[in-house]
């Protein structure tokens, strides 16, 4: 089991190509923790914006009558991957991990696998 800070640190250091990571509460749109980013990538802005992404997808599924849950969401940009992973472990509802990857350095399959493991170990 790892706490928020340790999990963010692990994502940042063990997942190749990671430039920023955040744990976000999508009921409020605020970040519980952030690591990386910088002045040209504001993770608070990303947390609020991607909250809208997650909410929109959940609403769309509801409208379509799909009774399932989101495991992760991948957004592919020209030079970055953005990976959103919703937390499913005991009572951690309403949270997601958000990972920003440099697509030139990242291995997407490996990143997804490692993030899944970090999520399973995370205890808030």
Binding site for other proteins (CB under 8 A): 24, 28-31, 44-45, 47-49, 51-52, 55
Strand order through the sheet with 80-86: 30-36, 18-25, 95-102, 80-86, 72-76
- Smaller CB separation from other proteins, 28 or 93: 28
- Smaller CB separation from other proteins, 44 or 121: 44
Considering the complex, what minimum distance in angstroms separates the CB of residue 9 from other proteins?
22
Q: Give the C-alpha separation, 88 to 116, whole Å.
A: 10
**12 neighbors 18 (Cβ within 8 angstroms):** yes
Structural tokens at position 98: 């958000």
Considering the complex, what minimum distance in angstroms separates the CB of residue 63 from other proteins?
16
- Smaller CB separation from other proteins, 44 or 72: 44
Considering the complex, what minimum distance in angstroms separates the CB of residue 81 from other proteins?
22
Q: Give the C-alpha separation, 25 to 23, whole Å.
A: 7
């Amino acid at each position: 089991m790892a706490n928020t800070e340790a999990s963010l640190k692990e994502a940042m250091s063990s997942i190749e190509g990671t430039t920023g990571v955040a744990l976000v509460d999508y009921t409020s749109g605020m970040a519980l923790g952030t690591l990386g980013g910088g002045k040209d990538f504001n993770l608070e802005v990303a947390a609020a914006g991607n909250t809208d992404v997650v909410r929109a997808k959940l609403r769309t599924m509801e409208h379509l009558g799909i009774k399932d849950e989101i495991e992760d969401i991948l957004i592919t940009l020209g030079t970055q991957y953005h990976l959103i992973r919703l937390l499913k472990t005991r009572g951690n509802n309403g949270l997601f991990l958000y990972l920003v990857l440099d697509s030139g350095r990242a291995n997407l399959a490996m990143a997804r696998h490692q993030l899944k493991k970090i999520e399973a170990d995370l205890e808030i």
